A and B are shown apart, each in its own frame.
Chain A
């Protein structure tokens, strides 16, 4: 995993509540056995028409949708299916952070494991940012994970919550499995204390 560093970026607004993972990446693209190439299918059914041509009305097909590291979305982003293909597609497209008023639990967990930061902000900051982007589509925000602050185009700093362990892993660029593997002594000790009622082997 890449180390997550403080960055400043333009923002792509997607003012829709409850954007589910089927919209982020439709299920028919989940037949792949690798992680590669999913960025091309990000928001596929909003992004392309039935013939596969880019839909010019969709923001990712407009100049302001390119080379931006931050997505600004409505409430409850990432609800629905547990597919980790959703953060894979978002990061492959170039997003490093998503800002919303809330995130679905599974998506939030999947995102941080892929160096994609879910930034939860209060409703007033959320509205301020949408309004700022209406006035200046090139307005920028700064995302600082170390300080857990988002700096809005007005200069106002907003704090956001992050699970401390996820924050540590993202800043250091290490994944959780390394840590869990170090706990094998505790795992073996735990296993020794219990009788398991299940054996799936034939």
Chain B
């Protein structure tokens, strides 16, 4: 027997192509996901050098970021966005990469459609020109975001030069109380370690809480690994993983499935494997979380007061918190409960899967959206949209007074026309509350789909537990 290894080390070791003196290891990429925003300059680079895509059969594209969530029978009104979406489809055609384009019945957010179609598999290396690629880690894949230069590297060679990350074990134990969700778990972790807390590391989420979560909930957790600064975040596959994957479009079938299953079952970290760092979180006392500031680490339990910059000793930290509260126009020292809300956004690669929509719909059922609030529900993919409609969820949203849209990133990144007006407040199930992230001058409170739905019906930041 060799030295006990973590799942991260197992996946890493099996993907090192070569390691030459003076250069980082060259690692092989099993799945390259491509979208319209971070790829055009990479395809242009290939053309300039006269290169082909080495493995179109390990590449997959969709359009999501600058993609409107309005009626798909209409042309894209924003001409620049239309050109970008068209460019992706043209590039994919030219280089032979399969693409679920603007009119595809399977189009959706890249991190939703990968798992949904069975492209994402345990033990894979997965990359995408998008920082939320860690989502795919929920399946025990080593998945991370890359820049456009590296998108070009992978298109041309299927490989990346990559320094090995350190391992960070995140032990999460305990059951979740009613009203407390996977989103609250990850927001609590980030609030504790800070948005740079995981820099240079890959999180491995373990513990009884994680084991009890559905795949959708695990994706919510892994998705926000980058908000904790980590390169990636993953969860060892188990029966929950295999049940979710079985039969999906691109999964191996028959004997190939059985053989893959045998390989995947070898992936979990060995007994006695050593991590560079570790942390433990007990969920017993966990409350619904909400962010109050301008980065995802500025989060608090919903009943707790917003922190006071005056309480911080470090001048740069104090100024940064004061600047955040000034941008948000929020006073320290009291909870956000009761703070008015203009918009509620339920969507994004963090929380736009079927279980998120079901949770929100259960809260909307029999209730009406507050007259002062604009509510957008944006499914993560067209497949998710159809499933939700088959379950009648769209009717619940519409009857409550919410907008039910086509799939895309939408107001998470506000590139497609879905955005906040200056000064507006949103409760959003997305992953970033940076200044202007949801529209210039817009102010974001990040929260779970349940907390978002609660704000939608009351018109103010609300402890969802009072409505359950």
Contact = CB atoms under 8 A, between A and B. Distances in A.
Given A45-B436, A191-B158, 17 more contacts: A27-B65, A28-B414, A31-B84, A76-B229, A84-B147, A84-B149, A87-B147, A105-B231, A109-B147, A165-B24, A177-B149, A177-B157, A187-B17, A187-B26, A191-B28, A197-B121, A201-B57
Interface string A189-202: 01100001111111
B195 A76 contact: yes
A104 B229 contact: yes
A18 B195 contact: yes
Given A33-B40, A50-B441, A76-B196, A186 B147 contact: no
Nearest to A20: B434
Nearest to B59: A200
Contacts of A74: 316, 320
Interface in A104-158: 104-106, 109-110, 113-114
A50 B40 CA distance: 29
Contact of A180 (B26, B119, B226): B26
Contact of B437 (A22, A30, A114): A22
15 contacts: A17-B316, A17-B320, A18-B196, A20-B432, A22-B435, A75-B316, A82-B131, A84-B129, A84-B149, A104-B199, A105-B231, A176-B149, A176-B153, A181-B157, A183-B157
A186 B25 CA distance: 12
Contacts of A199: 57, 250
B18 interface: yes
B414 A27 contact: yes
Contacts of B440: 26, 28, 45, 50
Nearest to A17: B320
B156 A177 contact: yes
Given A104-B199, A200-B250, A187 B295 contact: no
Interface stretch (B30-38, B279-287, B331-339): B30-38
Interface stretch (B75-83, B205-213, B353-361, B389-397): B75-83
A186 B17 contact: yes
A22 B434 contact: yes
A109 B159 CA distance: 15
B272 interface: no
Nearest to B45: A177
Contact of B98 (A26, A79, A202): A202
Interface string B138-151: 00000001111110
A194 to B, nearest CB: 8
A201 B320 contact: no
Given A80-B432, A200-B56, A200-B98, A179 B23 contact: yes
Most chain A Cβ neighbours within 10 Å, of B57, B78, B81: B57
Interface in B82-97: 83-84, 87, 96
Interface residues of A, number: 59
A180 B199 contact: no
A83 B38 contact: yes
Interface in A9-68: 15-18, 20, 22-23, 26-28, 30-35, 45, 50
B22 A81 contact: no
Nearest to B263: A197
Contact of B58 (A34, A187, A198): A198
A197 B262 CA distance: 13
Contacts of B60: 200
Contacts of B45: 177
A28 B406 CA distance: 20
Most chain B Cβ neighbours within 10 Å, of A31, A113, A168, A190: A31
A51 to B, nearest CB: 12
Contact of A18 (B66, B124, B320): B320
A16 B149 contact: no
A32 B414 contact: no
A200 B41 contact: no
Contacts of B320: 16-18, 74
B264 to A, nearest CB: 10
Interface string B105-136: 00000000000000101001000011100000
B415 interface: yes
Contacts of B317: 17
A165 B23 contact: yes
B199 A76 contact: yes
Contacts of B65: 27, 30
B231 A33 contact: no
A197 B126 CA distance: 13
Nearest to B197: A76
A186 B18 contact: yes
